[in-house]
Amino acid sequence: MRILVTGCSGFLGSEIVRQLIDRGDEVVGLSRRETPDLVRRGMQHHRGDLSDKAYVERTIRDVDAVIHTAAVAGVWGPWKHFYVNNVVATRNVLAACKSSGATQCIYTSSPSVTFAGGHQSGIDESVGYPEKWLCYYPQTKAIAEREVIAADTPGGLRTVSLRPHLIWGDDDPHLLPRLLDRARSGRLRIIGDGQNRIDTVHVTNAAAAHVSATTALSDNPDSAAGRSYFIAQDEPVLCWEWISRLCQKFDAPPPTRHISYRSAYAIGATCETVYKTLRRREEPPMTRFVAAQLAKDHYFDITAAKERLGYRPTVSMDDGLAALSRV
């Protein structure tokens, strides 16, 4: 297949590109940053901004499928920043897919599109979107996800939305460095009773789910398309035990101090109010979303991804942690 990957310079996008090239696909990458390593492997690269509709239409041509991983993540920032990069960009990608005749669009979403601040213990995709949001990232990702699913057309563009959770692995630029930095600075505290269970996913597995989706949409589109899927290790772990294992592996002090969830949530709400009032752009030291994510269960039933996409995690939690060497 000839497949275009948006966000090809990102942590997940670059791994998807590598796996597609290894499978024998012709890959076109689109990102804002240069990707010389992927170009050397055979990827054709385009550099640009997905919020530019004309540019997107010029770039998404003569491809069989688009894997849309590009997004702005985070728990803080202005609404317009998230809306333009997560919603408008996705609309441009969908419009270009339709006008170019692409037959597949695989969208990278997030389990946080269903998160309202409470426990999510073994839930599946039947759980709906919340009525209230704790930050703009999941809200804008949910708007985009809905539009991706609504765009699914039998006999035309087939779409799916994948929800990989807490992606990690070597060269992770987000999750692991952030945790370790907070641990080393003494700013990481156990929120709640420390017994909340979470799902994560190794970047190799997360990328493989996207590659599997291209096959499923080709071979069994009526079964696979028009749906969202949770993607995870299928090995839920105790959040704070897992964080302690990471700290020990990289010689960072594991967190031992506790703070109640109620207190952390209240601190987060206060910080958000102060930062909004002062119009500060940097992320507050605590937010309501972060407090809830660190204190509540969030693990998922991935039966649908296994049965409809053929997804199988190939890197186990133990093997992935043992091989982890660069963060």
Would you please indicate which residues are annotated as catalytic (active-site) residues? Answer: 137
Task: Check: CB of residue 313 under 8 Å from CB of residue 238.
Answer: no
The closest of 26, 28, 21 to 7, measured between CA atoms, is: 28
The closest of 4, 6, 229 to 110, measured between CA atoms, is: 229
User: Who's near 149: CB < 8 A, 6+ residues apart?
Assistant: 159, 161, 226, 227, 228
User: Who's near 21: CB < 8 A, 6+ residues apart?
Assistant: 27, 41, 42, 43
29's tokens? 């990458």
Measure the CA–CA gap between 9 and 141, rounded to whole angstroms. Answer: 20
Report in angstroms the alpha-carbon separations of 38 from 16, 154, 205.
11, 33, 19
The closest of 67, 58, 54, 71 to 27, measured between CA atoms, is: 67
Task: Check: CB of residue 49 under 8 Å from CB of residue 27.
Answer: no
Place of tokens 């809905």: 146
Measure the CA–CA gap between 130 and 43, rounded to whole angstroms. Answer: 39
> Helix 11-23 crosses helix 203-219 at what angle (to 10 degrees)?
50
Amino acid in the structure at residue 131: E
